[in-house]
Amino acid sequence: MQFRDLLKQYEVLKPQIDAAMVSVATSAHFISGPEIEELEKKLAEYVGVRHCITCANGTDAISIALRSWKIGKGDAVFVPDFTFFSSGECPADEGATPIYVDVDQHTYNLDPIKLEKAIKTVIADGKYKAKAVIAVDLFGLPADYPAIKAVCEKYDLLLMEDAAQGFGGKINGKKACSFGDISITSFFPAKPLGCYGDGGAIFTDNDEWEDLIRSICVHGKDTSNRNDPNAKYNNIRLGRNSRLDTLQAAILLPKFKAFKDYELEEINRVAGWYTEGLKGIGLVLPEIKDGFYSSWAQYTIQLPETADRTEIQSKLRAAGIPSMIYYAKPMHLQEAFAGTDSEIADCPVTERLCATVLSLPLDPYKSREEIDFVVTELKKALLRS
């Protein structure tokens, strides 16, 4: 069994994806081809924001967004302690100080009460200027934006939505990538909407930021006249080279159609089979609160603290079932932050999660039989661990 079966998806979408790839090869329009604009328009429309700017990957998307806000040295950026490294790496790389905040045990997402506490502490200390919050839609579930936004407004902080894992999620019908002042996603192959390499996108309603982001993505080009082909050789600021390849955009177009037509619904069905099969046996299962909708980047359970996770994983592996630990280490304990103020954090929930979580195989193409098999083998492994 594959952890996330990308080949199965390719087999289903092969005619459209092959045609898309050949079409880019024969057009030879490898950079900034027409598929880029088509994709950006479709994604912005789906999400319900004015602008979508594609870029090279999700990590760049975070860094570029932070740069458009001029966040850097002396600024504090609040980040969940339980996330993928980029969420904290990017603000640190811009010279800011990530302040790690604990998460909710049941949703795995930023705890709004602890967020406010952390903001108050930073303001009282006065060493850093409280500037922004990066909320993460972990495992596909949108963070608690109604509560987080209220906190951001109260303390006048910018809000970024890191929806690298969250594309397709919703809160009361409003879509992920629309909750931040700027929101980002990733098209890394294993994300809910993935391409065939690296890719990312930035979303915002703000025209001024859109302009700045488009400029930063292409070496600080002049964006004042978008029809002028020479404007990209007029460099009005320092930027970087961060573009989505035309080939990846062409691959994403049919994949996006499948995603919204049926994959999102299917993966929710598959996740539902896990929830049904695994309840009542002493595991903590992912909780989707009323009004929330997940795109299920991962199905992550919490084992009893007494269970031997390594042993359970090896039993599953012996039965042909891959499993992963997302994430094994709290951000504030990553060696990269040793000796910095980012290592100062009070995150007991994250520390417990890191010791007990286990992510199970999941994708929209898994059958009921496959999920039942994982459930059966996991129950057996739990009894013997």
- CB nearer to ligand PLP: pick between 141 and 371: 141
The residues near 344 (Cβ < 8 Å, ≥ 6 apart) are 332
Instruction: Please choose, out of 41-49, 79-87, 271-279, 329-337, the segment that lies near ligand PLP by the rule CB under 6 A.
Output: 79-87
Written as six digits, the tokens of 381 are: 């492994």
Give the DSSP letter of residue 113. H
CA 303-306-308 angle, 5° bins: 70
Nearest residue to ligand PLP on Cβ basis: 58
Cβ distance to ligand PLP smaller for residue 59 or 294: 59
Q: By CB under 6 A, name the one of 87, 246, 302, 313 that touches ligand PLP.
A: 87
Give CA–CA dist 48/42, Å, rounded: 10
Q: Any contact of residue 58 with ligand PLP (CB under 6 A)? A: yes
Residues contacting 233, CB < 8 A, separation 6+: 221
Query: At its nearest, how many Å lie between ligand PLP and the CB of residue 70?
Result: 21
For residue 318, the minimal CB distance to ligand PLP (Å) is 29
Quick one: 75 or 198, whose CB is closer to ligand PLP? 198
Place of tokens 């910095």: 340
Closer residue to ligand PLP in complex, CB, 78/273: 78
**Environment class of residue 22 by beta-carbon count within 10 Å: exposed (0-12), middle (13-18) or buried (19+)?**
exposed
Question: For ligand PLP, what does the binding mask look like between residues 164 and 183, x meaning CB under 6 A?
Answer: xx------------------
Contact segment (CB under 6 A) with ligand PLP among 30-38, 55-63, 109-117, 360-368 equals 55-63
136 touches ligand PLP by CB under 6 A: yes
Mode of pairing for the β-strands spanning 292-293 and 200-204: unpaired
Q: Is 54 in the site for ligand PLP (CB under 6 A)?
A: no
162 binds ligand PLP (CB under 6 A): yes
Least Å from the CB of residue 188 to ligand PLP: 4
State how far the Cα of 261 lies from the Cα of 265, in Å rounded to an integer: 8
Binding region for ligand PLP (CB under 6 A) out of 159-167, 221-229, 359-367, 370-378? 159-167
Residue 222 near residue 236 (C-beta atoms within 8 A): yes
Q: How many CB atoms lie within 10 A of CB 101?
A: 28
Taking the complex as a whole, the smallest distance from the CB of residue 28 to ligand PLP amounts, in Å, to 26
Residue 128: asked if its preceding bond is cis (omega within 30°), the reply is no
Piece of 32-40, 57-65, 357-365, 376-384 that binds ligand PLP (CB under 6 A): 57-65
3-state secondary structure (DSSP) of residue 365: coil
* Interface residue with ligand PLP, options 91, 200, 239, 361 (CB under 6 A): 200
Residue 221 CA to chain centroid, in angstroms? 28
CB atoms within 10 A of CB 322: 15
- Binding of ligand PLP at residue 359 (CB under 6 A)? no
Q: Tokens standing for 323? A: 């499993």
Beta carbon nearer to ligand PLP, 60 or 116: 60
Q: What does the alpha-carbon distance between residue 224 and residue 244 come to, in Å, rounded to a whole number?
A: 22
Q: How far is the CB of 85 from ligand PLP (least distance, A)?
A: 8
Residue 97 contacts residue 129 (beta carbons within 8 Å)? no
Q: Which of 68, 86 has the CB closer to ligand PLP?
A: 86
Maximum CA extent, the chain: 68
Nearer to ligand PLP, 54 or 87 (CB): 87
Q: How many residues contact ligand PLP, by CB under 6 A?
A: 15
β-bridge partners, 103:
110
Per-residue x/- marks for ligand PLP, 95-134, CB under 6 A?
Answer: ----------------------------------------
Considering the complex, state which of residue 136 and residue 378 has its C-beta at the smaller distance from ligand PLP.
136
Instruction: Tell me the closest approach of the beta carbon of residue 233 to ligand PLP, in angstroms.
Output: 28
Q: How far apart (Å, rounded) are the C-alpha atoms in residues 321 and 221?
A: 49
Q: How far apart are CA 65 and CA 202, in angstroms?
A: 7
Residue ranges binding ligand PLP (CB under 6 A): 57-59, 83-84, 86-87, 136, 162, 164-165, 186, 188, 198, 200
